[in-house]
Amino acid sequence: MNRPLILVAEDDHSLRQGLIDLLEAENYRVCAAPNGREALELYQRLKPDLLLLDVMMPELSGYDLCREVRRHDSDTLIVMLTAKGEEIDKVVGLELGADDYVTKPFGLHELRARVAAVLRRQRKAPSLVDLSSTFIFGLAKIDRKAFTAEREGRRYKLSSRELTLLETFAAAAGEVLSRNDLLNAAWGVDYFGTTRTLDQHIVQLRKKIEVDPAHPAIIETVHGIGYRYKGQHQTDQISFGSKPE
């Protein structure tokens, strides 16, 4: 099996070199860039397996780079390096399609574990394109192959994580799913993180699914436990083996 290639985009020289040394010691192949523009060029030329992006970089920010990659690539893994205590950094990154984030300052053991966990989840994830192409979720039509949700004439892009959450909810319509259930389904049983990541994904997902995200009627919060998809019709139930209409 080829060793995963990781692109490190970080403008701080000392931190960038430290990340390179850490990842190479874990037997990953590593390429690195001091700014977002060079990182984009490396991504386009080398097609790495994972991007490790600092949010604040000269020429092209981590946000801009994540947005550019996700315009045509939903598979390459992206982990954002965010500022300590800046929750908005995490929310924006997740909304743009990042798979995970690490808050600065971070420990090397945490960074190592998060990178390994994200890569393991990718290897375990089933191919979505082999499933039936569309299904109904609440008032939205979900297109697996296009990674979109269409509701009331508007089309929203979905990240691979958001799509997996929708599939998990639809397969258990009406049932209460714990946060751990949802983390295991969308992030894997070896996820190294907190349920806050899930909650932030749900917030962003509601903006695309709910008529009034501030008062959700489709993905219901069950306090102290998790969430429930309030599917109303038999057609809301997902069929993983069925053929597209």
pLDDT band for position 99 (50/70/90)?
confident
Tell the burial category of 66 from Cβ atoms under 10 Å away from its Cβ (0-12, 13-18, 19+). buried
pLDDT band for position 208 (50/70/90)?
very high
Amino acid identity of 126? P
pLDDT digits 0-9 by tens, 211-230 = 999 999 999 999 989 999 98
Q: Is residue 121 predicted with pLDDT exceeding 70?
A: no
**Strands of 134-137's sheet, edge to edge?**
134-137, 140-143, 148-151, 154-157
Domains present along the chain, CATH in parentheses: 5-124 (3.40.50.2300), 128-236 (1.10.10.10)
Q: Is residue 62 predicted with pLDDT exceeding 80?
A: yes
Question: How far is 63 from 40, CA to CA, in rounded Å?
Answer: 12
Cα angle 167-162-212, degrees, rounded to a multiple of 5: 95
Q: Provide mean pLDDT across the span 96-105.
A: 83
Q: Provide mean pLDDT across the span 86-92.
A: 66
* Phi, psi (degrees; rounded to nearest 5) at 130: -85, -10
Task: Provide the pLDDT for residue 239.
Answer: 39
Q: Provide mean pLDDT across the span 150-174.
A: 90
Kindly report the average pLDDT of the chain as a whole number. Answer: 83
pLDDT band for position 110 (50/70/90)?
confident
Helices (H), the chain: 13-25, 36-46, 62-70, 87-96, 108-124, 160-171, 179-186, 195-209
